[in-house]
Amino acid sequence: MTAVPLLEITNLTVEFTTRRGIVKAVKQVDISVAKGETVGIVGESGSGKSVTSFAVMRILDRAGRVAEGSISFSGFDLTNAPEFAVRDLRGREMSMIFQNPRAALNPIRKVGRQIEDVLRQHARTGSGDARTRAIEALANVRINRPEDRYDAYPFELSGGMCQRVVIALALACRPELLIADEPTTGLDVTTQKAVMDLIVDLTRERGMSTVLITHDLGLAAAYCDKVVVMEKGEVVETAAARDIFARPSHAYTRKLMRATPRPGIALRDLLPEGAPVAAIKQPAASDAALLSVKGLVKEYPRVHTRSLISRYLRKGNETASAPFRAVDGISFDIRRGESVGLVGESGCGKSTTSMMVMRLLDPTSGSIIFNGQEIGELPARTFAGNSLRSKIQMVFQDPTESLNPRFTAVRAISDPILRLDKPMAADALRARCEDLARVVGLPPDLLDRFPHQLSGGQKARVGIARAIALNPDLVILDEPTAALDVSVQAVVLNLLADLKATLGMSYLFVSHDLHVVGLLCDRVIVMQNGQIVEEGITKQVLEAPTADYTRALISAIPHPPV
């Protein structure tokens, strides 16, 4: 380690001018990154971790400004340097990669050209060998057939591939510092592992320094030398990665650590120390199957690339290409009072399956028997008018997007009651919604607020209250905590477990996160390519997986060293 750090952030305060006055997003932050070091900045949403990195790159948006403090890079003062000087550093000496890699690339420019733009900007290349250098950059991030990929557009590449391109773009000019802002959020665990390993390999190889910004403590612990924990714009703890997990000194770090799902713990362990908790009652799961799915298949026709005329002309000898099977003949049961996890990576068919069970999508073939009644044949289009609708409800992935922005919380919760239940007087309805709010732990005085006036956790509670408003037998939870911070996720998962115990519902829990599923579910089903590759008691599947795919999934999850 050299004496002079590569990046030195001293006493940094960043302010944003908003309609409600000046907001300090980052307060007196000190962070230093030595040459060759990997530093993790960990925190939940609103902790100021991204704003700090934008301030370093000097790409804060119009409303934000550095109010005090200084940022120096190799002894060069970034805070007061003129824009052209900083622009010259960006991409050449310090680079940044972002979350949502597909959106981070220009959608209508070939990826090779985008890398060339950076190379040209920093005069690393003449026009003659720009293409060669860009292909080289693609090859460096281990993209197969880089010559062909040069001509690809972002929409033609997978999310993981796009992130590789973004990394290639960031590293094309061999910078000394790489800032990775949630580089793997939204990617599958196996892709996440591949991308993180790539970043680590490349930065080690080149002796680069890395700042990894993440909400995932496990990820930070697995890949960083030093971890900086931020809360509400302030640094609460800085320590070596090994020490911070062994001896977290700040209460917030301890809370974060506890809330991170990991193997060998129970649901209650996620909650902060000293939280008043009762043991989760284990309802007796009866043997009778509530839901029985048999040979479920969903096919989609391949996209027709042939034109209208040629289709018309060749109407007779239609050479039908085999349709795509999103769900390929799966069968499983859910017993009354049981919760079953449905796990797999994106594109494995888990969402399609849940949509069919939910009766939002018609299956191609197979049967769905709910409470002894075949519901697979009831058309999805008219199922909303069926009395069974109230017995199968759903909690959606994004608590914000799944609430009508013009409905207050009480209106959202009462929606299924108004549509499916007997008409009732306004005050009775209000009382019922207040009861429901109490059950899900939502303070009743928040009921008259609109979604944008509620926090993420509160919105999640509204979504859950809406789902249980009609006392359903089966609730389908589609990644209900994926958009939430870990501490909020901990509370919501516990709430779901308690609700199931008191109300005697069954859950179908759809998720990509095996640890989360492990905490909430009795049994787990692992899907790959539309088929079930493994099914069994959660504990057994997690501790002694039989399928290779399950093993790959489990080993790809980054573990904190505890």
Partner 1 sequence: MMKLLLDRLLTTIPALIGVVVASFLLTRVLPGDTAAYFAGPAATPQAIEQLRQQLGLDRPLPEQFGHYVVDLAKGDLGKSLTTGQPVLSDIKARLPASAELTLFGLILALLIAVPLGIAAAVRQGTVVDHACRAIATAGVSLPVFFTGLLLIYVFYYILQWSPAPLGRLDVFTSAPRGVTGFYLIDSLIAGDGETFRASFSQILLPGITLAIFSLAPIARITRASMLSALSSDFIRTARAAGLGARTIIVTYAFRNAMLPVITTLGMVFSFLLGANVLVEKVFAWPGIGSYAVEALIASDFAPVQGFVLTMAILYIVLNLLIDLTYRVIDPRMRNAS
Footprint of partner 1 (CB under 8 A) = 57, 59, 62, 87-92, 95-96, 98, 100, 103-109, 117-118, 121-122, 153, 155, 166, 169-170, 303-305, 307-310
Q: Are 348 and 528 in contact (CB under 8 A)?
A: yes
Q: Cβ 250 to partner 1, closest distance in Å?
A: 31
CA dist., res. 112 & res. 540, Å (int): 46
Q: Which is nearer to partner 1, 118 or 467 (CB)?
A: 118
Q: Name the residue among 436, 390, 443 with its Cα closest to residue 412.
A: 436
Q: Which is nearer to partner 1, 101 or 457 (CB)?
A: 101
CA dist., res. 418 & res. 93, Å (int): 60
Q: Which is nearer to partner 1, 170 or 476 (CB)?
A: 170
Q: Cβ 302 to partner 1, closest distance in Å?
A: 11
Q: Which is nearer to partner 1, 88 or 299 (CB)?
A: 88
Q: Which is nearer to partner 1, 55 or 505 (CB)?
A: 55
Tokens of 508: 């179908």
Q: Cβ 76 to partner 1, closest distance in Å?
A: 15
Q: Which is nearer to partner 1, 195 or 486 (CB)?
A: 195
Q: Name the residue among 399, 490, 483, 396 with its Cα closest to residue 182.
A: 483
- C-alpha distances (whole Å) from 414 to each of 77, 108, 426, 465 are 57, 44, 10, 9
Q: Cβ 191 to partner 1, closest distance in Å?
A: 19
Q: Cβ 251 to partner 1, closest distance in Å?
A: 34
Q: Are 330 and 531 in contact (CB under 8 A)?
A: yes
Q: Cβ 106 to partner 1, closest distance in Å?
A: 5
Strand residue runs (E) in 274-425: 289-300, 324-335, 339-343, 365-370, 373-374, 392-395
SS (H, E, C) 482-513: CCCCHHHHHHHHHHHHHHHHHHCCEEEEEECC
Specify the amino acid at residue 261: P
Q: Cβ 163 to partner 1, closest distance in Å?
A: 12
Largest CA distance in the chain: 78
Q: Which is nearer to partner 1, 180 or 267 (CB)?
A: 180
CA dist., res. 443 & res. 191, Å (int): 40
Query: Which positions ≥6 away from 53 have C-beta within 8 Å?
Result: 41, 96, 179, 181, 211, 213
Q: Which is nearer to partner 1, 77 or 435 (CB)?
A: 77
Q: Cβ 119 to partner 1, closest distance in Å?
A: 10
Helix (H) or strand (E) holding 12: strand 7-18
